[in-house]
Chain A
Amino acid sequence: MTELNIGQEIDIEQGGKAKVTGILGSGGQGVVYSVEYNSTAWALKWYDISKMKEPAEFKANIKKNIEDGAPSNKFIWPKYLTKNMPDGTFGYLMDIKPESFDSFVDILNTYKLKVDPMTGRAIKYNVRFTDLTAMVTACINIANAFRQLHRAGKSYQDLNDGGFFINVDTGAVLVVDCDNIAPDGANFGIGGKPGYMAPEIVRGIAKPDVQTDKYSLAVVLFKLLFRGDPMEGEKVVKDVCLTEAAELRHYGSEAVFVYDPDNDSNRPVRGIHDNVIKFWRLYPDYIKNAFIDSFTKGLNDPNRRLIENDWQKRFIRLRSEIIACTCGRKNFASMFEAVDDATYKCPKCGMTFATLKFSNREQRMPLYIGSKIYVCEIDPKTDDYISVAGELVENKLKPGVLGLKNTSDMMWRVRMPDGVYYDIEPGKGCPIWQGLEIQFGDTNVSAWI
């Protein structure tokens, strides 16, 4: 391949030149350089076209993607193509990943290595979610990103741990390596990464498309939460050596989910899959069932894989069922004691938590200082899971008094202990009490304690 030198200038199709300023990394398809173009820093992915079957088609596809634009701001999308070099080599410019995001690979490893420029030695830094809500938010964001992509009629094709960057403090997600994204049904040669590929691709009877993306999405989400491989259990480990034939069996024709309720031949193994064993019991059934369905019914029947919106809804629910106790315990409500239908108790310190019942769903939402109601949870017309509509706070003027603050742009109607309904304007709040009832604007959704 034609390698670029620092200082070299590359012609951009739109006009102008990008000047190479350094190397950011290299991968299977080529090298990523840092460049300067129009006085702005960009990343340049520069292809090794000898590894491509049809470079012209591949380039045309990227051009189409640039014209279509990114499905949302969660994608680090190709922005500008370079002109071809005499030997046909080309590349594209994209935004540089912000510093505050860590690669999903590092999150799975729980650390990253950084080379100390003085000594040349690699130093380990921890990479962990700092907050449970952030981790669940990352799941919502990942499901949402692929929902947006698939709604645009495109498939990602090579969904794996190398394709995401995540902010471990907030759960914000960036999807990278968007160059294999193609219209659903089209494929420019990529197969996928072992362990993430749908069984039908491993078996050689299908090519990547939206349905295989759904399988890979389930794998990514499983790895994010359970920190292990959904298909690697006793049956696989017994083989000791993962030969090509073993890979074909365990990830293709004879794949068995480690928690398949009807087949216990591939359960996780103590000492090897401790994460999976530990975390599986922490999650409520509606999350576990989503994985069970995806990896049993959906294993060989692509149409029975969970759709992205279903994942998104389940994780939005999971986020609303987290309890942060003042003693420091933060976990899913299912890991707190249920005193009765409407009250949870911290098993560590004994603190109790009231819950809010909404008119539009069965499950009750636990209330703790800092718990948030999101817009999509009170307004069925939108799936805005980012904007906060209400938050449980302590009254600044009356310490110890807890209340719900209206952070939405709608008027709330609230029943107070005197039995009278009052208007709560945006920015105002009301104390919580046994018998509280809230009507959220004109959404037809109400909630009560």
Chain B
Amino acid sequence: MSKNKNPKNSSAKQPEAVKEEKVQAAPAAPEADLDIFDDFDDDPLGATGVSRKSLVIFFLIDTSGSMKGTKMGELNTVMEELIPEIRRVGEADTEVKIAVLTFSTDVKWMYSEPINIEEFEWARLTAQGVTSMGAAFKELSLRMSRNSFLNSPSLSFAPVIFLMTDGYPSDDYKEGLKTLASNSWYKFGLKAALGIGNEANDDMLAEFTGSKDTVVHAYTGNQLAQMIKIVAVTASQIGSKSMTLADQNDEELSDEDVYASKQKMLGQQIQELVAKNDNDDVSFDSGW
């Protein structure tokens, strides 16, 4: 619950270093004996909030020079508006946190650790420099770790990772992506990407998300706002909302059946929503 913007504390919680992290290690202490409770601390109404699963939403945002102007203005505005909208998506089961990584010439986190969405305040971004996307992937991989940003003592959902860019990387993004691909949190995470304007390359974005379904494109300011909302809201709701049943089977589901099922569901839902919003097709760069 408590907000902690001090990066030192975040690493102090998990002192032991784990290099090649598998999403498996156990930090949990076993149940202690009951004497830890004060004699009269037995009020059946004295509850703290129910233990929640943690969900971190990573926004990777291109702040290179080409984003200057309308795109950045639109993005800042929609993000400010979006935060209150997705505030209660986790309901009682999920504690949603936000982390924002911007990349231009340098790679920079908006805050030094993920912030609880109830306390998150959007710091307006400005655009300048080149597009170091590969470096951003590496930085993300470094932080998507039990010892860093994903240090919640309780259970976590795989993170949501949402990439937004308007251009082609100016560094070796493939190498960065390779680093990221070895990260289990990335492997199980929900990945989505938004290409902005004519320069953004959807094929490259699909390499990042792993599928074309979760890549959307915005050519106008209006679309940009819509797409960000569609992707962020849909992605953050998967896992904590009531779900519909799959069409098929009366056969028992196996691990293979459910593998990446949320990523597929996300792709489907995004595509459905995008299809419905497909009515505004004047390009960003046209009509000036």
- Point out residues on A near B: beta carbons under 8 Å: 1, 27-28, 50-51, 53, 104-106, 108-111, 113, 115, 120, 122, 128-129, 131-132, 135, 158, 160-162, 187, 189-195, 201-205, 207, 223, 225, 227-229, 232, 234, 236-245, 247-248, 252-253, 267-275, 277-279, 281-283, 329-332, 335, 347-348
Contact = CB atoms under 8 A, between A and B. Distances in A.
B245 A237 contact: no
Contacts of B48: 110, 227, 274-275
Contact of B50 (A109, A115, A253): A109
B17 interface: no
A65 B190 CA distance: 38
B135 to A, nearest CB: 25
B243 A269 contact: no
A204 B156 contact: no
10 contacts: A51-B244, A51-B272, A110-B47, A129-B45, A194-B240, A205-B250, A241-B156, A245-B255, A269-B31, A272-B28
B98 to A, nearest CB: 15
Contacts of A204: 246, 249-253, 257
Given A237-B28, A253-B252, A268-B31, A108 B23 contact: no
Interface residues of B, number: 67
- 7 A-B pairs with least C-beta separation: A204-B253, A108-B92, A241-B23, A244-B258, A238-B26, A191-B245, A245-B255
B24 to A, nearest CB: 6
Contact of A128 (B26, B45, B153, B259): B45
A131 B44 CA distance: 10
Interface in B144-170: 146, 153-158
B51 A240 contact: no
Contacts of B31: 234, 267-270, 277
A53 B244 contact: yes
Interface string B63-87: 0000000000000000000001001
A272 B253 contact: no
Contacts of B29: 269-271
A272 B158 CA distance: 18
B203 interface: no
B45 A241 contact: no
Contact of B245 (A189, A268, A282, A329): A189
B6 interface: no
Contacts of A53: 244
A269 B28 contact: yes
Contacts of B32: 270
A241 B37 contact: no
B272 A241 contact: no
Nearest to A279: B44
Given A194-B243, A204-B246, A275-B50, A331 B43 contact: yes
A116 to B, nearest CB: 12
A235 B45 CA distance: 27
Interface of B: 23-32, 34, 36-37, 39-51, 53, 84, 87-88, 91-93, 118, 146, 153-158, 184-185, 188, 237, 239-246, 249-253, 255, 257-262, 272, 276
Contacts of B272: 50-51
Nearest to A278: B37
Contacts, number: 199
A239 B155 contact: yes
A234 B30 contact: yes
B51 A207 contact: no
Contacts of A227: 47-51
A240 B37 CA distance: 27
B41 A273 contact: no
Contacts of A203: 252-253
Given A207-B245, A243-B188, A269 B276 contact: no
A122 B88 CA distance: 11
B247 to A, nearest CB: 8
A167 B20 CA distance: 50
A60 B31 CA distance: 51
Given A239-B155, A244-B260, A275 B185 contact: no
B50 A223 contact: yes
B47 A275 contact: yes
Contacts of A243: 23, 158, 188
Contacts of B257: 204
